[in-house]
Structure 1
Amino acid sequence: MAIEPLAIGVCSWSLQVTSIPELKGFLDRLGVDVVQIACGDPHHASWAEGDAMPAAAVAAGFRMSGAMLGFPGEDYTTPATIEKTGGFGDPATRPDRLSRLKWALARTRELGLSDLMLHAGFIPEVGSDDRKPFLDTLTTVAELAGSAGITVAFETGQESAALLRRTLDDLKCPNLKVNFDPANMLLYDKDDPLAVLDLLAPDIRSVHVKDANRPPRPGVWGAEVPLGTGQTNTAGFVKALKRVGYRGPLCIEREVGSQEDRFRDIEHGVRFLRECLATA
């Protein structure tokens, strides 16, 4: 089902659901029917439906903007632990993670979707010895996804926007794009999201809408906060997305707190985002 530009949606894992009926119930309570859905992994969801999840999701009647993949073994305890364990950063885990990617690409197709989002890992700087092997791995990602007819969008935050821009330009793979998460740029203390939006705008395939404050000191996380209460400037972000011609949905993400707290904050986020859209 088609999704209108800037439709409000939610990331399924933010609701900590374990089944498609539970997800549908939360969406109905929120008054939205657009969702970016977790493939099924330790960080984003473990679906009670198992291999039958795609059929159940398609039959549920909500609209899906894309799928999301996380990898077993990713450790978000600190920025340092995720730098070591995230995405395709560790050469030792690349074969297993490429295998997991193949599984996720198949699941994305079963869901009737053409987009898969993931964290690539901390992209090596230009000139570093490990940059070429890392980019070779991302080329393999593009080839596998291309064979499946899938576009892969790398989530922002773990590297500067300038480095991500240079990497996409170096790769020259038309099916590698960007999932723009402005709050991640603050949580990792990398960029001012509004200042770098134009740099990545040609390749923004999807967005996460969440809010955050920068970390108080190097080496620790910033703080994720409810929409409109942090340093992200969500209202300005929505206006900027309209200005650059983004036409995808706005998927609210909330990754801290109990399920009850998350639902309350997402419910607030839906109302706040509607206000932002009304004045954008």
Structure 2
Amino acid sequence: MPIPPLMIGVCSWSLQVTNVPELKGFLDKLGINVVQIACGDPHHASWAEGDAMPAAARAAGFQMSGAMLGFPGEDYTSPQTIEKTGGFGDPATRPERLERFKWALARTKELGLTDLMLHAGFIPEVGAPERKAFLDTLTQVADLAKQADVIVAFETGQESATLLRRTLDDLKAPNLKVNFDPANMLLYDKDEPLKVLDLLAPDIRSVHLKDAKRPTVKGSWGEEVPLGTGQTDTKGFVKALQRIGFTGPLCIEREVGTQADRFRDIEHGVRFLRECLAS
């Protein structure tokens, strides 16, 4: 069944689950039934079910909005390390990551889904000598996804919204979209989310709901905080999503703290989003 507009969901990796029954148990405790699910591999949000995970997830009774891919070797220690190791940024890792992407496309289909989210990596600026090769790689991504009948949504934050808009316009691939994460824009010290929402609105396919504060030291990470306690203006963001006609779910993401800390903060986030929607 289709997921109703603006249903509250959660990102599976935020709960640090290792198997499908554990995920189902957390969803039941949260009182929600929608999840964006990690593809899973030994390096990123692995599943005890292994190759049997898609069948187990389909039979679990929850609804999945899409799948998420992370690449082995991505290093989020600092903005500088992820710039070097993230997505398709490093030419040396592109061949193996395209193979991992093909695997993720197959897993997305096994899950019965049409959407796959990932970080493309730091997109080179217009005029940079490395931009053409990077865009050629993203064209391969689009072509492979088209063959699989999958929509790929690039997560925001590692580049400005203006650069992402220009890149999508240059690629002219209708199956390349946006996973809009307002907190990432603050964590990476980029745009004001509400000011650039309209720029990306035509291509927003999915969203992550988390909150953050900008870094106080240039070149360092911002601080991720529970929903409603940071600088993203989550209430305003939800209203803006309604204004632009976004009909997808609101998937809460939490990426710091112990499993217990994350569950507590996600539980708070569910309550907070319900208040936002009610008002």
Contact kept, 8 Å, 1:41 with 1:69, in 2: the verdict is no
**1:61-72 correspondence runs (5 A):** 61-72=61-72
Divergent runs of 4+, >4 A = none
Report the counterpart of residue 167 of structure 1 in structure 2. Answer: 167
Q: Which moved more, 1:38-47 or 1:28-37?
A: 38-47
**1:204-215 correspondence runs (5 A):** 204-215=204-215
SS in structure 1 opposite 2:67?
strand
Q: CA separation in 2, counterparts of 1:270 and 1:175?
A: 30
The one-character-per-residue Cα deviations of 1:167-208 (angstroms, maximum 9, x if unpaired) are: 000000000000000000000000000000000000000000
SS in structure 2 opposite 1:202?
helix
SS in structure 1 opposite 2:3?
coil
Report the counterpart of residue 156 of structure 1 in structure 2. Answer: 156
**1:43-62 correspondence runs (5 A):** 44-62=44-62
Contact kept, 8 Å, 2:44 with 2:71, in 1: the verdict is no
Letter in 1 for 2:270: V
**1:45-124 correspondence runs (5 A):** 45-124=45-124
Aligned residues: 279
Unaligned segments of structure 1, at least 5 residues: none
Label 1:44 to 1:207 Cα distance change in 2 as closer, same or farther (>3 A).
farther
Q: Is 1:261 the equivalent of 2:248?
A: no
Contact kept, 8 Å, 1:41 with 1:71, in 2: the verdict is no
Contact kept, 8 Å, 1:189 with 1:215, in 2: the verdict is yes
Taking structure 2 as the reference length, the TM-score comes to 0.99
**1:15-34 correspondence runs (5 A):** 15-34=15-34
Letter in 2 for 1:139: T
SS in structure 2 opposite 1:208?
strand
Q: Is 1:203 the equivalent of 2:238?
A: no
Q: CA deviation at 1:229?
A: 0.3
Report the counterpart of residue 276 of structure 2 in structure 1. Answer: 276
Report the counterpart of residue 228 of structure 2 in structure 1. Answer: 228
Q: CA separation in 1, counterparts of 2:64 and 2:86?
A: 25
Report the counterpart of residue 129 of structure 2 in structure 1. Answer: 129
Contact kept, 8 Å, 1:182 with 1:232, in 2: the verdict is yes
Report the counterpart of residue 219 of structure 1 in structure 2. Answer: 219
Contact kept, 8 Å, 1:19 with 1:47, in 2: the verdict is yes
Q: CA deviation at 1:43?
A: 6.2
SS in structure 1 opposite 2:35?
strand
Q: CA deviation at 1:278?
A: 0.8
SS in structure 1 opposite 2:277?
helix
Q: CA deviation at 1:41?
A: 3.5
Report the counterpart of residue 13 of structure 2 in structure 1. Answer: 13
Label 1:44 to 1:272 Cα distance change in 2 as closer, same or farther (>3 A).
farther
Identity of aligned residues (%): 83
Letter in 2 for 1:35: V
Contact kept, 8 Å, 2:183 with 2:224, in 1: the verdict is yes
Q: CA separation in 2, counterparts of 1:53 and 1:42?
A: 13
The one-character-per-residue Cα deviations of 1:199-257 (angstroms, maximum 9, x if unpaired) are: 00000000000000000011110000000000010000000000001000000000000
SS in structure 1 opposite 2:198?
helix
SS in structure 2 opposite 1:107?
helix
Contact kept, 8 Å, 1:186 with 1:192, in 2: the verdict is yes
Letter in 2 for 1:98: L
Q: CA separation in 2, counterparts of 1:153 and 1:41?
A: 20
Report the counterpart of residue 2 of structure 2 in structure 1. Answer: 2
Q: CA separation in 2, counterparts of 1:214 and 1:161?
A: 17
SS in structure 1 opposite 2:231?
coil
The one-character-per-residue Cα deviations of 1:122-150 (angstroms, maximum 9, x if unpaired) are: 00000000000000000000000000000
Q: CA separation in 1, counterparts of 2:41 and 2:146?
A: 22
Unaligned segments of structure 2, at least 5 residues: none
